[in-house]
Structure 1
Amino acid sequence: MMKSVVEYKDYRQYILDYYSERKRSSAFTWREFARLAGFASGSYLKLVCDGKTRLREEGAKKTALAMGLLGFEYDYFILMVRYESAKTDREKKKCIEEMQALSDAHHVKVLGSDLYTFYETWKHSVVRELAVAMPGAKPNEIAKVCRPAISAADVSASLSFLTKAGLLTRDIKGNYHQTNRSLTTGRLNVVAVAVHSLLRQMGEFALEALDKLPISERHFSGITMGVTAESYEKVVEELKECRKKIVSIVSVDKKVEKVCRLNMQLFPLTENINKGSKESGKGE
């Protein structure tokens, strides 16, 4: 039996699962599916599932009805389609919030929603580290060492969320422990919107650190370089490996002295030149 639509975050996967379920018990075809949804092309929905095209709003409505979706399930399916078409993070966030509201109202948890909440603000990642590094500390004590400062109420709310989400556990002595030493977003598209928000916040903190902290307490460096598509991908892979190595270094620490943030940023400063020229990088 298929899962409820509100347990999905990818409308293509839901369409594919619906088709597979119908196909298992009948001679259902992509052509028949397209006909029921009112599409002229018999292969249209298969192309959608293959990622070669996408549903538009009107097409989403016809497809939802063809799959027998009504009420909140119909609304949820439309929101999944609308999320993919959204142009801005604000629009994507609105879709996610409405999807979560529908799932909450019908007692179903959206996969990845806890991670979405975790990455939406920097506070959760910092409190998650401090809660373990400061055993027995009260929320106001944790709040005082945060930079920028946050309230004890913020810390309490974060601890409550982290525990409920299973990102922290609490032993009989009241001390917190991390269920996983490190976290990654993996391939969760829903989480990406919240990660964008977190990266912006951390970028702003980096600018503040550049102005306010002495060189002994922060390390900033960069390279301006000419690249090809091939060398760009190699650099990205090297950064991924570097990140993994750094995680392995800090993971063996038994006692934390402070919580730091490492930003890894690689972005273009020009449009594609298309002349095939290569320039050596220069450190800054």
Structure 2
Amino acid sequence: MKPIFEYTDYREWIRDAFDDFKQRKTVISWRYMAMKLGADPGNLLRVSQGKIHLTLSLVKPMAEFFELDEKETAYWTELVCFGRAKTDAEALNHYEKMQILKGIPLKRLAKKELEFYRHWYCNSIRSIIGICRFKDDYEGLAESCTPPITVEEAKSAVKLLYDLNMISKDRDGYWKVNDTFVSTGGNWRSEAVRTFQKETIRLAGESLERHAPPLRDISTVTMTFNMDDIALIREKIKEFRSELLRMSQEGNGDDTVFQLNVQLFPIGFAKKLQEKAK
């Protein structure tokens, strides 16, 4: 089992800790653990399944049950609070504390860094520079984006990337991508990132008319699931996305920048109709 400091989802840690405990010590059941914690076994199971949140009164007892040390308990406490956060500010506050306990100082997103997410083409230009030689042909750089952007936008994006230390010039004057990259930090939600997501979703819709079928793969399918299975479906999407990221990182001779949007959202609730039919 990986260290608790590598987790950002407290429910995932509970499931892994439960399985690890069962393998290392003795037979264990949710009922047995609930009895030791003074909790309802059904609720404890629902917590592990992502259906409800763990009550704060059980945070310390669970830390003691799994024999966490002082630092692990502190991280575990912030991890639960992070998962229960209802606002962006609250989530970021607990996430920062988690990073400090891990020994990683969190770099707050400054105004310029947030600006990176407000314009979809900043990410595109950074990726283009990473796979081709670019010096000062801003007209060509602007036309390389799809849809094309203005020369002024291209120049502004390059300056922003430089200010953020995302790109730099080599000795021949060509721009190159640096290893540093701005992250919003795990599950922390920011308005700038949501704006970026809205923009890429809009671009995905426009791609139906802008790009020929061989250059895109946009398909739709309507399915029905039990709401209890949504956590598992989200995990499957995460695994799929991680595999494609690995392929991208290991690839050679890349010549095109792609944007992947995986979209899963409800468009109908049968439960409401069923309730009315009763």
What one-letter code is carried by the residue in structure 2 that aligns with 1:150?
Answer: I
- The corresponding residue for 1:196 is 194
Q: Which moved more, 1:246-255 or 1:173-182?
A: 173-182
Q: 2:174 and 2:241 mapped to 1: Cα distance?
A: 29
**Equivalence map 1:110-129=2 (5 Å):** 111-113=108-110, 114-129=112-127
Q: 1:275 and 1:223 mapped to 2: Cα distance?
A: 22
TM-score (normalised: structure 2) = 0.55
Q: 1:211 and 1:163 mapped to 2: Cα distance?
A: 33
- The corresponding residue for 2:172 is 173
Preserved CA contact (<8 Å) 1:112 1:188: no
- The corresponding residue for 1:209 is 207
Aligned residue among 225, 228, 231 for 1:227: 225
Q: 1:182 and 1:165 mapped to 2: Cα distance?
A: 8
What one-letter code is carried by the residue in structure 2 that aligns with 1:251?
Answer: Q
**Percent of counterpart pairs with the same letter?**
19
| RMSD, aligned α-carbons | 3.4
Q: 1:181 and 1:219 mapped to 2: Cα distance?
A: 30
Q: 2:145 and 2:217 mapped to 1: Cα distance?
A: 19
What one-letter code is carried by the residue in structure 1 that aligns with 2:129?
Answer: A
Q: 1:244 and 1:179 mapped to 2: Cα distance?
A: 22
Q: 2:263 and 2:184 mapped to 1: Cα distance?
A: 16
What one-letter code is carried by the residue in structure 1 that aligns with 2:158?
Answer: L
Q: Which moved more, 1:164-173 or 1:117-126?
A: 164-173
Q: 2:226 and 2:204 mapped to 1: Cα distance?
A: 28
TM-score (normalised: structure 1) = 0.54
1:248 aligns with 2:213: no
Please give the per-residue CA displacement for 1:146-182, whole angstroms capped at 9, x wherever unaligned: 1111122211111111111122232222233323387
1:197 match: secondary structure: helix
- The corresponding residue for 1:152 is 151
1:273 match: secondary structure: helix
Unpaired runs of 5+ residues, structure 2, are 1-80, 91-106
Preserved CA contact (<8 Å) 2:166 2:180: no
> Which segments of structure 1 move beyond 4 Å, counting only runs of 4 or more?
181-184
Please give the per-residue CA displacement for 1:239-266, whole angstroms capped at 9, x wherever unaligned: 1111111011111223321111111111
1:258 aligns with 2:256: yes
What one-letter code is carried by the residue in structure 2 that aligns with 1:112?
Answer: L
Unpaired runs of 5+ residues, structure 1, are 1-49, 55-80, 86-109, 277-284
* CA separation of 1:264 and 1:184: change in aligned 2, threshold 3 A: farther
